[in-house]
Amino acid sequence: MKQYENAVIVSTNRLADGIFSTELCAKSIVKDSLPGQFVCVYSDDGAHLLPRPISICDIDADAGTLRLVYRVVGFGTDELSKKGVGDTVRLLGPIGTGYESVREGKDKPLRILIGGGIGIPPMLLLAKNWNAAGYEVHAVLGYRNADLFLLEDFKPYATCHIATDDGSVGTHGTVLDAIAADGLLDGGADRKALIAACGPMPMLRGVAAEAMKQGIPAYVSLEERMACGVGACLGCIVKSREVDGHSHVHNKRICTEGPVFPVSDLCW
């Protein structure tokens, strides 16, 4: 259940150009957090009323801490990146369905996690959980260049495959190019694989098309700018095959019905 909490910053670090990691003590939110969910981060400045939604990268249940990895793109994320140890941040969370909505079970032992850019952080907690559950986990991570933030964090839990836009590391091209180069989907549905992805919408559309072509179940975590974060404003909708019970049209609210959806539920 989502709730408000005044979280205390434990650490803040710069991971790459414009990318920061902030760890916060938020025991009430952490105890209910799942992979794929997010929190709303509120500004101290009363002129900025709307919170910034940021996906949960990792949690430490014993310590009661959660980790947010984000790109500085505006006032809210800039303010968060400049806070120091001991400062407080007002959070609302955890929000969203997360990957508990994944219906496939042990009959899909090969788990392929795909992250592009700032869509990489939400995949880390999922990699840890699926590794602990005994799945064979592969992480396909797409970067702009050789600033491979979080790569070392993934390595204990997944076999990593890298794609870079400039070709400086790994496969030159997209995450789909890396998947093809490393033969991860060779054999199609016979591989008994399941895909989870988060990243830019063009990447997700490409992943969805390839998964549907191969007959492999896939789930995507959608990231959009949100206003209320609780499903009231309809500011973060995606076209769906089913009629939404709230708006009565073919829309789903990313902040409530998502952010994780089966690709088969969405109109691409």
What's residue 157's pLDDT? 98
Residues 43 and 122 in one domain: no
pLDDT exceeding 70 applies to what percent of the chain?
A: 94
In three-state secondary structure terms, 115 is strand
Residue 38's domain comprises 3-98
Of 79, 98, 117, the residue at which a domain comes to its end is 98
Q: Count the domains in the chain.
A: 2
Is 204's pLDDT higher than 80? yes
Q: Count the residues in the chain.
A: 268
Closest among 142, 214, 226 to 177, alpha carbons compared: 142
- The answer to whether 161 touches 80, Cβ cutoff 8 Å, is no
Of 98, 114, 139, the residue at which a domain comes to its end is 98
Residues 110 and 210 in one domain: yes
Is 35's pLDDT higher than 80? yes
At 136, the pLDDT band (50, 70, 90 cuts) reads very high
Residue 70 half-sphere exposure, CB side, CA atoms within 13 Å? 26
29 belongs to a structural domain = yes
Is 230's pLDDT higher than 70? no
Residues 86 and 115 in one domain: no
- The answer to whether 159 touches 77, Cβ cutoff 8 Å, is no
What's residue 251's pLDDT? 81
Residues 70 and 133 in one domain: no
| More confident site: 52 or 246 | 52
Q: How many Å separate Cα 12 from the centre of its chain?
A: 19
pTM: 0.93
Q: What is the CATH number of the domain that holds 206?
A: 3.40.50.80
Residues 115 and 208 in one domain: yes
- The answer to whether 65 touches 4, Cβ cutoff 8 Å, is no
217 belongs to a structural domain = yes
Model pLDDT for residues 67-123, shown as the tens digit of each residue: 999 999 999 999 999 999 999 999 999 999 888 778 888 899 999 999 999 999 999
Residues 177 and 123 in one domain: yes
49 belongs to a structural domain = yes
Residues 164 and 67 in one domain: no
268 belongs to a structural domain = no
- The answer to whether 208 touches 220, Cβ cutoff 8 Å, is yes
Residues 68 and 140 in one domain: no
What's residue 237's pLDDT? 77
Q: What is the CATH number of the domain that holds 11?
A: 2.40.30.10
| More confident site: 178 or 96 | 178
Residues 80 and 140 in one domain: no
What's residue 247's pLDDT? 65
Q: Hey, what amino acid is at 238?
A: V
Omega of the bond prior to 35 within 30 degrees of 0, cis?
no
Detail the DSSP E strand segments found in the chain. Answer: 3-16, 19-25, 38-41, 52-60, 65-71, 88-95, 110-116, 136-143, 159-164, 171-172, 193-198, 218-221, 237-239, 251-253, 260-262
In three-state secondary structure terms, 154 is helix
Residues 86 and 111 in one domain: no
What's residue 254's pLDDT? 82
Radius of gyration of the chain (CA): 18
